[in-house]
A and B are shown apart, each in its own frame.
Chain A
């Protein structure tokens, strides 16, 4: 394969074709950059880190939402590559979509640690206790890079623009599972609505396209179980984990035994 052809859906639905010289290891983002630098400087697309961390270069490649920087041209196994903007989002220009509604949904589930004692949270000189087993319950969902691929792939979002969406539900569950958080009941009220967690039909497309294996389908299902715990089993939210003494900030002196660690009354 010497050359590849990019068929790009540009603003207004027009399709433009560009031929790019193929080189080994070339990603779709490399090909787009080649087009913009050598052929058409007006081509609009977003990118930043070029290593699958920032989540900016999400686009529909061959009908499936993918990160352009992580998609090798060779892996697509074709000489003509069809590129479109992400589905379910409004196009600003060419491959650039409006992600503000997506970010608003993320913000709507209050994706941060909620504590009853706000002063303790914001001005504490100590840390909250989290055990390794507890971290394992939410760490996978913490890897979300907010690229929006799950949102673009979701068939429910395609039908209901008010649906909270897989990314936001995943982040809601990530904090609900966090032992430091005390906003369990409040987030359940946010998710248990007609456009909330029950709209999901378990098509699994979100997990299929996720570039970080965050597995939103699993998080949505777990969030539903939490809703059922509150609504059916009448379970109440738990108290957040306690503060523990600060970690040793200076190196221990030789021959001096460090003071015993205070677990805040919790048994080890």
Chain B
């Protein structure tokens, strides 16, 4: 494979939102949560695949999972947060991309410039998704703790 000789391109550069806009931060979180969900999906497929080995194999898999202790709960909570953010932000992006919501119409640029696609409506959409996800994530955490009988 040909080496990419471009200055500061690649995965690290693409995920670095420092100094950029709110939507660029949202992009980074969206990508990270997507990777977590793919990882979870793989682990979930592996876990259910153990059913083919009979009840003993399944019991062993469950025992291995439960031996993680609180880490299992934390892992599930992170997966729940990832699913919530990826889904919520994904809906915002679909509204952006397929229906042109929050993007504004072409305008005549007047100084000082302020792109309408990153304007007030877009910011409200991003913050609404973030607030909703955080609220649901807290609820998911409480739900997990209640399920384990901790609270």
Q: Mark B117-132, 1 if CB is under 8 A from A, else 0.
A: 1100010000000000
Residues of A within 8 A of B8 (CB): 60, 84, 87-88, 158
CB–CB A213/B113 < 8 A: yes
Interface size on A, residues (CB 8 A): 48
A217 & B118 in contact (Cβ 8 Å cutoff) = yes
Report yes or no: A217 in contact with B14, Cβ–Cβ below 8 A: no
Q: Is the beta-carbon distance between A86 and B7 smaller than 8 angstroms?
A: yes
Contact A140-B106, Cβ < 8 Å, known A158-B13, A213-B113: yes
Within 8 A of B (CB), among A14-63: 60, 62-63
Q: Which of A106-114, A183-191, A200-208 sits within the interface?
A: A200-208
Residues B117 and A64 in contact, CB atoms below 8 Å apart? no
Contact partner of B7 (CB less than 8 A), chosen from A90, A213, A225, is: A90
Whether a CB of chain B sits under 8 angstroms from the CB of A235 is: no
Question: Which of A84, A137, A204, A221 sits near B24, CB closer than 8 Å?
Answer: A204
Residue B149 lies at the interface, judged by CB distance under 8 Å to chain A: no
- Chain A residues 153 to 207 lying within 8 A of chain B, measured CB to CB, are 153, 155-159, 161, 177, 201-205, 207
Contact of A205 among B7, B21, B30, B107 (CB under 8 A): B21
Q: Is B58 an interface residue (CB 8 A)?
A: no
Q: Are B7 and A161 in contact (CB under 8 A)?
A: no
A225 CA to B26 CA, complexed, in Å: 23
Complex contact B14–A156 (CB within 8 A): yes
3 closest residue pairs by CB, A with B: A213-B113, A213-B109, A204-B23
Query: Given known contacts A88-B6, A97-B7, A155-B14, what 13 new A-B pairs fall within 8 Å (CB)?
Result: A88-B8, A140-B108, A158-B14, A159-B14, A201-B31, A202-B96, A203-B24, A204-B122, A213-B109, A215-B106, A215-B117, A217-B117, A224-B98
